[in-house]
Structure 1
Amino acid sequence: MEGSSSQNGSSTNTAPGNLENNNSLSYKTILYENMFNNRILLKLGEDGFITPDEKAKELIKELSEIKYLYALKMLFENLQNEFSSQVLANSLEALVDTPFNHYSKESVARLELHLRALVTVLERICFSPIVLSKVLRDKVYNSLAKFAEIHRKTTQVIEIGLDNNFRRNFNQFNQQSNNQDEQIIKKRNYNIDFLLIHLRDTLHSLRDDETWF
């Protein structure tokens, strides 16, 4: 026991140990998120939604809220959960149709999480005995342009400043100097760029019901 304790003590001075300490906060954050969203899934079970299909059907009704997106993503990431082909298709379509009607710091995090959930569902479809219709596949593919535009506009709004809510011509109460305009800090979430590319490439690899020549 003494040998193992001294060995553990010496390991904290090594680079891997320091790296683990530095990442402990992020691990705790992920753990907290998992616990919180597990409570959502447990609550669904208590309310009578027992199967993964039933839980997914309920969660896709509230995809505009981040906590339900997290729960849906966790539900599909658990490979022990099995889903019917109809629920997979419905979940994919629901994620494509969910509206984004405003821009804020929260909407950046929501868009990234939304795309991660979309990736998770699409990957489950890739490894399931299901072939998408050409209509649905094209709908998902065309939605990528919509998400890219949301990403572009959100980035633009954040660059200009979220506190500047008035139009330039009517900005009497929230004026900015030219110097402030020139000092706008450009911020971009490159995770979203990667997710959009990954979704595009995955969709290109999927076949649909279109006749092949």
Structure 2
Amino acid sequence: MFNNRILLKLEEDGFITPDDKVEELLKNLTKSSYLYALKLLFENLQNEFSSQVLENSLEGLVDTSFKHYSKESVARLELHLRILVTVLERICFSPIVLSKELRDKVYNSLAKFAEIHRKTTQVIEIGLDNNFRTNFNQFNQQNNDQIAIKKRNYNIDFLLIHLRDTLHSLRDDARNYTKN
């Protein structure tokens, strides 16, 4: 087990099984430290999770509760999406069939996450404009070719595409019954 402070505290508080720890961590997904602990739990292949905990995790992670946009939001969004990928991959390699409603809910959340990413990127670019571009031209020369500084987290772009593709490969109850 990793020596993560939050995971150790959970064990001290009586949350022994991976399922118990995940259920407790899902209660506060706005804290990056909780997200990181959740990531460690899901990425440890020695941990086994019940199908109910995987479903609850998926339900909790598709909640797009980003109420503000800042440079800190970028890191939190990337971590959030990485955990969502890991949970979906766990579901993919387990004998779980998602309901069509849950699969659609996850799929629809991807557009919301993309919108959060777009708005966060805009905030960062505006911040760069305010901090680094001035109208003062030291040599009184006109500079008409403004160089736009693009700050974008391409990991998030990749994770969104990967999530979409993983969702397309998942079984759901509608696909399962129509093939039989």
Common fold by TM > 0.5: yes
Q: TM-score range by the shorter chain?
A: 0.7 to 0.9
State how far apart, in whole Å, the 2-side matches of 1:137 and 1:156 are.
Answer: 29
Rg comparison, structure with higher value:
1
Cα distance 1:141–1:179, how it changes in 2: closer, same or farther (>3 A)? farther
* Partner in structure 2 of residue 200 of structure 1: 164
What SS does the corresponding residue of 2:98 show, helix, strand or coil?
coil
1:74 aligns with 2:22: no
1:43 aligns with 2:4: no
In structure 2, runs of 5+ residues without a counterpart are 138-145
State how far apart, in whole Å, the 1-side matches of 2:166 and 2:151 are.
Answer: 27
Structure with higher RCO (Cα < 8 A, 6+ apart): 2
State how far apart, in whole Å, the 1-side matches of 2:120 and 2:6 are.
Answer: 29
State how far apart, in whole Å, the 1-side matches of 2:28 and 2:22 are.
Answer: 10
Matched to 2:166, the amino acid is T
Runs (4 or more) in structure 1 with deviation over 2 Å come to: 176-180
State how far apart, in whole Å, the 2-side matches of 1:55 and 1:91 are.
Answer: 11
Displacement, 1:129? Answer: 1.4
**TM-score normalised to structure 1 length:** 0.73
* Partner in structure 2 of residue 154 of structure 1: 120
In structure 1, runs of 5+ residues without a counterpart are 1-33, 165-175
**TM-score normalised to structure 2 length:** 0.86
Matched to 2:28, the amino acid is E
Matched to 2:44, the amino acid is N
State how far apart, in whole Å, the 2-side matches of 1:56 and 1:163 are.
Answer: 41
What SS does the corresponding residue of 1:161 show, helix, strand or coil?
helix
Aligned residues: 167
- Percent identity, please: 82
State how far apart, in whole Å, the 1-side matches of 2:171 and 2:83 are.
Answer: 21
Instruction: Give the conservation status (yes or no) of the 8 Å contact 1:126–1:206.
Output: yes
Which structure features the higher share of helix residues? 1
RMSD (Å) for aligned C-alpha atoms: 2.1
